[in-house]
């Protein structure tokens, strides 16, 4: 991977950290002369600003304060809001004498400011128009225990909007998994370093809007600290897909071959081929069972459709393509096995999806290459790793990295907060929506990836960009028609707009 392309990624995408790395950022900041309590005050002030920005007319709220520094943030925020005339109630999980350091100092500050405090008990009614969750932050260790569990359940049962401080309590800052129970936030305001665990796994369903506040300390503190991941940013698109040269021809922009659609399984491969064509591959071929040829040609005459009764009829097709997409509708029977065997034998970059992944986990074990993108959903990932889907979901970043180590190349672990693991590390996609929980969405992704590879993008860049464009296209399609009923076939036209980022400017120039 070239230095230039690596720079693109550095410039596009917020760094994400694990809890231990955020603690290191805190430590470095404090070592550089900003006192811990001053940092807590900055955090609380940022949270208070975030609260007012999201709920401008609010007059009253409750703050649940845990026994650590996350609770400390809550005490200071309560004092700040009370000073501006709001009615604030603090609910304390720990008595004052159980608090130490900055958290104790914060509690004293709020008490001195006259902010009401009541100890947590299970019959407590949460007062006010919203709840601030300052129970557990990055210091959470293991499954949520004791009264914290009850308090989290009470927050969720209250039906009130929730501002989570730093991270919804109960969510693991590294993995995005729920440790037993977790707060359902409306907004999460997070400090100093954004956390990987706010963006994948159960997190997208828990965090609400994420409001990242660097607190003005990140620049120096981040030096030499390799982030755990980067958040995929829409700026990547223009960086990687500049307008085509005026004299471009179809031979310059690649030939992708989609292999799939065993007898009885036609649609998936066609969806992949269509997405591939819409994303700008110069030529798209589809090798599928003969029974699907007519329907494919009717739907997409631009695609060169070859009916094959088996891999023996591929007839050099794979050698004439620049990239192969294998898996959509492949099946695991003899047709699919033969076609996968042929694809693995071709010296071409591969996109491997669906049943091709299942075959890699069963009949074609031990495969490893550098020039492929594997796109498992959690079920397929579990088969490839010999784990259960639950084990994959419990630590998605670890699963994505383990797959990449074992199988080489680049691995896309799909699902809310899709992860891309490659030689440059992890990237996380913050876009996409539950409308994508519909058949065929993964097939569209594999076609998109094939198109980007055909156009010459390096493997890891293609994978990151493809995942991003796929999710952004789904978000665009949802803005037009809503989540329920979103179809994979709706994505291609939106994705096309996204991969032509200068189109708006060109249109404007043409009409001037
Ligand atoms: N100086 C700093 O280090 C700063 C820290 N900040 C805040 O401090 C937080 C981190 O503070 P801490 O390290 O004190 O940790 P936390 O406040 O996140 O958690 C520690 C508390 O949680 C309890 N706890 C841990 N695991 C539990 C479990 N499984 N079940 C029930 N209770 C559990 C502990 O007994 C302790 O009371 C950050 O998330 C952020 O909100 C901010 O104020 C910015 C500055
Ligand atoms: N709730 C969601 N939020 C974001 N993305 C989602 C969500 N549900 C599904 N997706 C995305 O949709 C695609 C589904 O792919 P996959 O499970 O392979 O479907 P199929 O096998 O039907 O093609 C993946 O890219 C996944 O990340
Ligand atoms: K919290």
| Antiparallel, parallel or unpaired: β 255-259 and 194-195 | unpaired
Q: Are residues 154 and 25 in the same domain?
A: yes
> Is residue 93 domain-shared with residue 203, that is, in the same domain?
yes
Q: Which two tokens stand for residue 51?
A: 């609260």
Q: Distance from first CA to last CA of the chain, Å, rounded? A: 41
Q: Write out pLDDT tens, residues 94-153.
A: 999 999 999 999 999 999 999 999 999 999 999 999 999 999 999 999 999 999 999 999
Query: Tokens in use for 384?
Result: 């490839």
Sign of the alpha-carbon torsion through 154, 152, 128, 186 = negative
Whether residue 73 sits in one domain with residue 182 = yes
What residue's CA is closest to ligand 1, atom 11? 69
CATH of the domain at 58: 3.40.50.10260
Closest alpha carbon to 192 in 172, 163, 165? 165
Give me the residue label for tokens 């492929």: 372
Which of 459, 472, 460 has its CA nearest to residue 499?
472
CA distances from 442 to 376, 418, 438, 471 (A): 9, 12, 9, 11
Mutate which of 274, 374, 377 for ligand 2 pocket (most atoms within 8 A of beta carbon): 377
- Answer yes or no: is 240 within a domain: no
The whole-number pLDDT of residue 10 equals 45
Distance CA(131)–CA(108), nearest Å, equals 21
CB 483 within 8 A of CB 433: yes
Cα R_g (the chain), whole angstroms: 26
Asked whether residue 195 falls in the same domain as residue 328, the answer is: no
Q: Ligand 2, from 414, 468, 486: best to mutate by most atoms within 8 Å of Cβ?
A: 414
Q: Looking at residue 121, what is its pLDDT?
A: 95
Domain count, the chain: 2
- Looking at all shown ligands, the one closest to residue 134's CA atom is 3
Task: Count CB neighbours of 100 within 10 A.
Answer: 10
Residue 301 lies in a domain: no
Residue numbering of the annotated binding site for K(+): 70, 133, 169
Ligand 2, atom 12: closest residue by C-alpha: 436
163 and 24, same structural domain?
A: yes
Residues contacting residue 83 through CB under 8 Å, at least 6 positions apart: 113
Binding residues, by number, are 69-73, 133, 137-143, 166, 169, 268, 329, 377, 414-418, 442-443
Q: Contact, 314 vs 342, CB < 8 A?
A: yes
Asked whether residue 208 falls in the same domain as residue 325, the answer is no
The number of the ligand 2 atom at minimal distance from the alpha carbon of 471 is 5
In a domain? residue 359: yes
For residues 59 and 82, give the distance between their C-alpha atoms in angstroms, rounded to a whole number. 10
Name the phi and psi angles at 128, rounded to 5.
100, 180
Q: Is 115 found in the same domain as 224?
A: yes
341 occurs within a structural domain: yes
Ligand number nearest to the C-alpha of 374: 2
- Strands 187-191, 162-165: pairing is parallel
CATH number, domain containing residue 461: 3.40.1190.20
Domain that holds residue 467: 319-496
- What three-state secondary structure class fits 309? coil
Please, are residues 189 and 166 in contact by the beta-carbon 8 Å criterion?
yes
Q: Is residue 248 part of a domain?
A: no
Rounded alpha-carbon distances, angstroms, from residue 102 to 89, 137, 169, 214: 20, 15, 19, 20
Question: To test the ligand 1 pocket, which listed residue (64, 134, 136) has its Cβ within 8 A of the most ligand atoms?
Answer: 136
Return per-residue pLDDT of the chain as tens, 512 residues.
344 444 544 446 899 999 999 999 989 888 888 899 999 999 999 999 999 999 999 999 999 999 999 999 999 999 999 999 999 999 999 999 999 999 999 999 999 999 999 999 999 999 999 999 999 999 999 999 999 999 999 999 999 999 999 999 999 999 999 999 999 999 999 999 999 999 999 999 999 999 999 998 766 667 788 999 999 999 999 989 988 888 888 888 899 999 999 999 999 999 999 999 999 999 999 999 999 999 999 999 999 999 999 999 999 999 999 999 999 999 999 999 999 999 999 999 999 999 999 999 999 999 999 999 999 999 999 999 999 999 999 999 999 999 999 999 999 999 999 999 999 999 999 999 999 999 999 999 999 999 999 999 999 999 999 999 999 999 999 999 999 999 999 999 999 999 997 765 554 454 34
Number of Cβ atoms within 10 Å of the Cβ of 128: 18
Q: Could you say which of 163, 195, 228 is where a domain stops? A: 228
Instruction: State the number of CA atoms in the 13 A half-sphere of 436 facing the CB.
Output: 23
In a domain, 260, yes or no: no
Closest CA to 317 of 359, 357, 348, 294: 348
> Does residue 288 sit within a domain?
no
According to DSSP, the β-strands at 425-428 and 229-231 are parallel
Residues 491, 353: one domain? yes
- For residue 269, being part of any structural domain is answered with no
Q: pTM for the whole thing?
A: 0.94
327 and 191 in one domain?
Answer: no
Does residue 323 sit in the same domain as residue 467?
yes
Q: Which residues pair with 374 in a beta bridge?
A: 352, 411
Asked if 229 and 397 touch (Cβ cutoff 8 Å), the reply is yes
Claim to verify: residue 45 and residue 184 sit in the same structural domain:
yes
Please state, in angstroms and rounded to a whole number, the distance separating the CA atoms of residues 167 and 179.
13
């Amino acid at each position: 991977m070239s230095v230039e392309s690596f720079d693109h990624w550095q410039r596009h995408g917020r760094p994400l950290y694990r809890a231990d790395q955020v603690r290191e950022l805190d430590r470095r900041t404090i070592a550089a002369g900003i006192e811990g309590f001053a940092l807590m005050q900055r955090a609380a002030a940022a949270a208070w600003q975030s609260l007012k920005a999201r709920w401008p007319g609010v007059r009253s709220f409750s703050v649940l304060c845990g026994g650590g520094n996350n609770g400390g943030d809550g005490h200071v925020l309560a004092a700040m809001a009370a000073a501006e005339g709001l009615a604030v109630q603090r609910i304390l999980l720990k008595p004052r004498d159980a608090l130490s350091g900055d958290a104790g100092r914060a509690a004293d500050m709020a008490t001195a400011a006259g902010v009401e405090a009541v100890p947590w008990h299970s019959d407590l009614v949460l007062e006010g128009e919203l709840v601030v969750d300052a129970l557990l932050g990055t210091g959470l260790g293991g499954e949520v225990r004791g009264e914290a569990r009850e308090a989290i359940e009470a927050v969720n049962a209250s039906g009130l909007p929730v501002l989570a401080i730093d991270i919804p309590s109960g969510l693991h800052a590294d993995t995005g998994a729920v440790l037993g129970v977790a707060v359902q936030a409306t907004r999460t305001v997070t400090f100093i370093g954004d956390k990987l665990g706010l963006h994948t796994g159960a997190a997208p369903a828990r965090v609400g809007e994420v409001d990242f506040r660097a607190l003005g300390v990140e620049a120096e503190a981040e030096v030499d600290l390799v982030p755990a991941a980067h958040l995929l940013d829409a700026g990547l698109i223009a960086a990687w897909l500049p307008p085509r040269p005026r004299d471009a021809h179809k031979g310059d922009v690649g030939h992708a071959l989609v292999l799939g659609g065993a007898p009885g399984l036609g649609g998936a491969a066609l969806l992949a081929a269509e997405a591939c064509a819409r994303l700008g591959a110069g030529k798209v071929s589809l090798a599928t069972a003969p029974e699907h040829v007519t329907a494919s040609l009717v739907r997409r005459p631009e695609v060169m459709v070859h009916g094959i009764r088996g891999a023996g009829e591929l007839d050099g097709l794979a050698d004439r393509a620049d990239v192969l997409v294998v898996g959509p509708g492949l099946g695991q029977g003899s047709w699919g096995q033969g076609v996968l065997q042929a694809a693995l034998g071709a010296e071409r970059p591969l996109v491997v999806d669906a049943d091709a992944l299942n075959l890699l986990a069963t009949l074609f074990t031990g495969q490893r290459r550098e020039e492929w993108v594997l796109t498992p959903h959690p079920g397929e990932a579990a088969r490839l790793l010999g784990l259960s889907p639950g084990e994959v979901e419990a630590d998605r970043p670890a699963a994505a990295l383990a797959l990449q180590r074992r199988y080489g190349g680049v691995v896309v672990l799909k699902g809310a907060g899709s992860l891309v693991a490659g030689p440059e590390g992890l990237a996380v996609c913050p876009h996409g929506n539950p409308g994508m929980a519909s058949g065929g969405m993964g097939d569209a992704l594999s076609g998109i990836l094939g198109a980007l590879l055909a156009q010459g993008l390096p493997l890891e860049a293609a994978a990151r960009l493809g995942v991003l464009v796929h999710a952004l296209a789904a978000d665009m399609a949802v803005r037009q028609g809503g989540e329920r009923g979103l179809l994979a076939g709706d994505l291609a036209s939106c994705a096309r707009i996204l991969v032509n980022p200068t189109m708006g400017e060109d249109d404007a120039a043409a009409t001037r």
